[in-house]
Amino acid sequence: MVTGGAGFIGSHVVKLLAGKYPASKIVVFDALTYAGNLANLQELDGLDNYVFVKGDITDVDSVRRVLEEYGVDTILNLAAESHVDRSITDPLIFARTNVMGILTLLHAAREYWGDQLEGKLFYHISTDEVYGSLGFEDGPFTEQTPYSPRSPYSASKASSDHFVRAFGETYGMPIIISNCSNNYGPYQFPEKLIPLTVNNIRNGKPIPVYGKGENVRDWLYVGDHARAIDLIMNHGTPGETYNIGGDCEISNIEVVKTLIEITDRLLGRPEGASADLITFVKDRSGHDLRYAIDHSKLTRELGWRPATAFRDGIEHTVKWYLENSAWLKGVTSGEYLDYYTKMYASR
């Protein structure tokens, strides 16, 4: 059962698992709020080992029904409200989904699995933002870094992490948590920096950059993240936490400049033609200065490491957005919200 499987990261994970494990039933459980898009999974329609169920992780009866109907033995939780700006505007939604939703999943799983825990797993995908903010001279986050969330979003994710660990300790539930750095790649909702910038360059709109653009993020290609999740799900040690990073620290302004160079070139425009679209705006409240992930535990224990260089990944990503203008238009116009109705209303 993959919660949030119609979202950006979730859809990449589902497609990887559906192709790799044809004998396993993969149940996508997603509320299809603004960031969930069934068009992300349309290539799986008709596969025998894939099924979609529309549902909310805060609805315990819906969760119970799915667990029982499909005999779920593994829960991959990717369902989350994840945009910091939205959490500043409405933190209650983040508490509802990211805290109460995960608690509901845990409670339903404990009820359904009972004492039959052999072969069961609750795998919770979290974020590096729970660790707080690093200075430029600080070492990267490790699995032992104390939590220090600084936004309603990261506070809600930190809370869900604590509940997952508590169920592991209190009830003996087999749990795993992974904390990842900033993901990028195809199918990302265009409120995020990279797809927003590409779309604005194409349409000649201002590119908003917080402050001076000096904030640094560790960028992880979504395909590499999906591989890590698959590896951890199958070979990780229950009760453990694994950090997943991209070995790629870049400031926001450098990311934007790279996107301008690539997008202008692919559109046949003069180099740097869109540079004047950069618009520095008031910095976000509590904006974390720097994130960096030490993934050495995952590399040492399970042999994973990021395989996609940023330049290669970002080139592929920009090409995908430019070549999939219908997907982007559907999302920015809101048409994608009708996809579920069109695809499933007659079934």
Residues annotated as catalytic are: 128-129, 153
Distances (CA, A) of 216 to 170, 182, 212: 37, 10, 11
State the first-to-last Cα distance of the chain, in angstroms, to the nearest integer.
21
Rounded Cα gap, residues 175 and 278, in angstroms: 44
Residue 345 DSSP SS3:
coil
Residue that has been written with the tokens 């993901």 in this structure: 183
> What residues contact residue 316 under an 8 Å CB cut-off, 6+ apart?
185, 186
Q: Are 30 and 7 spatial neighbours (Cβ–Cβ below 8 Å)?
A: yes
Rounded Cα gap, residues 168 and 176, in angstroms: 9
Rounded Cα gap, residues 43 and 137, in angstroms: 45
Distances (CA, A) of 44 to 29, 40, 340: 15, 9, 14
Query: What distance lies between CA 267 and its chain's CA centroid?
Result: 28
What is the rounded radius of gyration, in angstroms, for the C-alpha atoms of the chain? 20
- Six-digit token string for 313: 């990944």
Q: In the chain, where do the E strands start and end? A: 2-3, 26-30, 50-54, 74-77, 121-127, 175-180, 182-184, 207-210, 216-221, 241-244, 249-251, 278-281
Q: Helix crossing, 222-235 with 8-20: angle to 10°? A: 60
Query: What distance lies between CA 207 and its chain's CA centroid?
Result: 23
Residue 247 DSSP SS3:
coil
